[in-house]
Structure 1
Amino acid sequence: MTDFLIKSTVAMGVLLGLYYVLFEREKMHRFNRFYLLGALILSLVLPFISFSVYNENLASTITLLPLELGKNQNQVLQTGNNSTTTILCCLYATGTLLMLFRFVKNIKAIRSSVNSNKRLSLKNASLVLVDAKILPHTFMKYIFVNKDEYENRELEKEFFTHELAHVNQLHTLDVIFVELIRAFYWFNPLIYFYKKAIQLNHEFLADENVLKNHKHVITYQNLLLSKASGKQHIALASNLNFSLTKKRFVMMTKTTNRFLATFKQAVAIPVIAGLLLVSCVDTPEEKTESPHLPKSKSKTVVQSNEDTYNVAALNTQPEYPGGMQAFYSQVMKNFQVPEIDHDLTAKIYVSFVVEKDGAITDIKILRDPGYGLGDEAKRVLELDDTKWKPGILNGKPVRASFNLPITINVKS
């Protein structure tokens, strides 16, 4: 869970920062809309994406997850403060339930307003005439306006064009999507910045549609100023005077060079690639002091007088009797986590060779996180005298190299 929170928050922060620096002030609102939504989605799925990059001399990756290591043995020490965990879980559940209750309450309030007020057709939308003194706002296909202002023809056509843009471009779906994420991610302040950026971009899009149809920038700006007020803000609706700031007025008269826009959009590609590389790629590293694994581009690593092959090059890969689950069980049975007085998640990278007769030899620690974990991993492998089925190449048994990353999760 901690890993998910860290990775998703970092990704959200980086992508949102990129938006503020490169995109927000440029007139490319459709790109910005999908960038912001995509940034949110990518940030939430990024922690669940994992790519394995194989060392050219190492053949296979076997991952023991913390829960597997800790089912029956001491590999995962779950001696943490259960009461603290319970309290945090209760606080999270309470906050989530309150946010969901608020979301449902807002939906019901809007639905009630639709059902209890007069409705009129307006192109592919429905006008809802409300007695209360409100500013025009939109939810799904419903445009809410003050009844008296509508009947007295006090609402200029620009306002209807603005709200119809929200309807036609389905802006409400974006808002609902962000609200649902916020319900479960309410403790992360970045979600609130994302919602504000998405809604402001909606206003840019709606303003752009008005000016496309009516052309008169100054007239439209004066109309907006005449309606600007501190009146109610509907949480799930697109509001006419949402963030009626200098940003919107500047954007109405701004032009963006197409080459510059394309260049800025292209900048996002290496940033996203960098996030994937840092967050998702798991690359085993060799110890600098290990002279037995030369950095060769060859598929063959000479470790003795005989060749040792990468298992990817074999016709039949080496196999532990009973399968890899049996191998996992053997490791779990014998691995003893040293005394560690704090929470720790660590990976140990071990390599070994499966000989022609099935014995494992040449056990090395490629990366040792310390605390005696590397020595313990080596001890467990040396302790196991089970014979593997050897790898087969061209009908003959051969020596094959393995790489084994073991994940240890310790709760103090």
Structure 2
Amino acid sequence: METLALYLFKVHLAVALLYGLYYMTVRNELFFRLNRFILLGILIISFSLPLLPSFTFDTGVADSSGTIFTNVGGTDLIRGKEVGVFEDEVQMKRLYGVITSLLAFYLCGAGFFLLNFISQVLNVLKVIANSDQAFELDIKYRVHYNDIVPFSFFNSIVMNPDLHDREEFRQIIAHENAHSRQWHSIDILIAELANAILWGNPLVRSLKRSIRMNLEYLADQKVLSQGFDKKEYQWSILRPYLRQHAIPLTNNFGSIPKLRIEKMNAPSSSFIKLYKYAFLIPIIAWVNLAIAPLQASALNRIYAMHLIDEHEYRDYLGYYEFEHDKGSFVQILMKDDDLVMKTMWNNGKIYFQKQSESNFVDMQSGIRLKFPRNWDGTVSGLVAFGEDRWRKVYEYKPVLKKSSEGTVISRTASGGMQVMVYAVDPWVKVKHYTNKRASSP
């Protein structure tokens, strides 16, 4: 779940960066064919870049025990690292609930728009199915007998010829045939699909409009290259009935007339301006560098928490307090197939391998750990050296221990009393615990 949330966040960010660059640099240039591939490439690249492996260094997030997590796939997130439960696990689970709720809302919205997208496709196919096939200028088109705005969808051109005079009819056929031969419906479907998935992003909606406008410019350019009169053609796309409500997901002859006329009357762009496009390739690499290191630390920690929760050693992890010396703690971590005991008073570590259920041994010294359980199967503490008992605690509060003074009263050789004062080590009751490891065979 958190991986999907991070992926969608990166896709939204990539679209914003790449389309923002296009908008500020080359959107007004008249290289329509090149702009078509750039606009379509923005969507394809935005959905692809977050899937590429990250080649960054030191992009992990450390927990309070110094454990490093990196956002990589599968169990690599905790493999080879000493990991333990998060001290802020309750807050992390609350955050996970919030993120899950937001993501569920987002996916419901995406599902709604995807269903609407499918419904629009079916509606277009229904309109095409209810039309008859005909030919004009060796171009196949379909005749619809209702009051319908001319449109094309892949290789289907649909219109009502009775609503247009002869010259206008020929212009419409040429325009929609240009859409059909250049497969402009593919661009529209990709843009609409991206808009459904990335709903709520105003830049995606603007990108979709840019794709549609550029396709119209391409079709107009093709029509004028065939010798049609420019002024007559421009008057045709200004006809009021051609700007009625059009069928979604289709190329419509009368769409965005003002901008199309402006582009038709604009002087051609100088090839010198192609230098602007040269900057797009390094910018794409820069966008990848910008989004790849984003680990979204909260999502990263939640994912790590889930991996730990699913591990067979999960019940053993945590803090344990010495029963005979309040304020003395050890922490149990795990590293792959080993358990790690960290003595909190000196940050020492002992590594244990599993021998049987709830029994572990340090192969170097022979020290053993046992984990007694409650009646409900939960781990209640640990036993070490056969005698030291530690109680599992669910709230670790470090205790600052200061050296104290001890006294010894003895007799002198002359029979008098003598009082001697000495410093008492605050960790004296647990010193034997670590010393035994050194003395064990």
State the TM bucket, normalised to the shorter chain.
0.5 to 0.7
Alignment of 1:297-376 (within 5 A): none
Deviates more, 1:224-233 or 1:78-87: 78-87
1:52 aligns with 2:66: no
Aligned to 1:226: 239
For the residues of structure 2 that align with 1:170 and 1:122, how far apart are their CA atoms? 20
Residue 255 of structure 1 corresponds to 268
Alignment CA distance shift 1:241-1:50 (3 Å): same
Distance across 2 between alignment mates of 1:380 and 1:211: 83
Matched, 1:168 2:181: yes
Question: Which TM-score applies when normalising by structure 1?
Answer: 0.61
Q: Which amino acid aligns with 2:41?
A: G
Change (3 A) 1:136 1:382: farther
Tell me, yes or no, if structure 1 residue 33 matches structure 2 residue 36.
yes
Q: Which residue of 1 aligns with 2:162?
A: 148
Indicate the residue corresponding to 2:208 in structure 1. Answer: 195
Question: Which residue in 2 is equivalent to 1:271?
Answer: 283
Q: Which moved more, 1:18-27 or 1:87-96?
A: 87-96
* Shift in CA distance, 37/54, structure 1 to aligned 2, threshold 3 Å: same
Deviation at 1:83, TM superposition (A): 5.6
* Pairing 1:135–2:149 present: yes
Aligned-partner Cα distance in 2 for 1:4–1:100? 19
Please tell me whether residue 4 in structure 1 is matched to residue 7 in structure 2. yes
Residue 202 of structure 1: how far off its partner (Å): 0.2
CA-to-aligned-CA distance 1:81-132 (integer Å, 9 cap, x gap): 5664554344334322321221222122222212222221457864221222
**Equivalent AA in structure 1 for residue 40 of structure 2:** L
Counterparts of 1:108 and 1:8, CA distance in 2: 28
- Partner of 1:399 in structure 2? none
Give the whole-Å Cα distance in 1 for the aligned partners of 2:348 and 2:291. 33
Deviations 1:373-408 (A, max 9, x none): xxx9x9999625599xxxxxxxxxxxxxxxxxxxxx
Find the counterpart in structure 2 of residue 177 from structure 1.
190
Q: Which runs of 5+ in 1 are unaligned?
A: 56-60, 284-328, 338-375, 388-412
1:99 aligned residue: 113
Higher relative contact order at CA 8 Å, sep ≥6: structure 1 or structure 2? 1
Q: Alpha-carbon deviation of 1:35? A: 0.5
Instruction: Kindly provide the amino acid, as one letter, of the partner of residue 95 in structure 1.
Output: G
> How big is the alpha-carbon RMSD for the aligned residues of Structure 1 and Structure 2?
3.9
Q: Which amino acid letter does the alignment assign opposite residue 226 of structure 2?
A: N
Amino acid at match of 1:157: R
TM value normalised by structure 2: 0.58
Deviation per CA, 1:345-394, whole angstroms, max 9, x where unpaired? xxxxxxxxxxxxxxxxxxxxxxxxxxxxxxx9x9999625599xxxxxxx
- Separation in structure 1 between the aligned mates of residue 108 and residue 294 of structure 2, nearest angstrom: 36
Structure 2 letter corresponding to 1:108: L
* Structure label with greater radius of gyration: 2
- Of stretches 15-24 and 248-257 in structure 1, the one that deviates more from structure 2 is 248-257
Local SS of the residue matching 2:254: coil
1:160, distance to aligned residue in structure 2 (A):
1.3
How many angstroms does 1:228 deviate by? 6.4
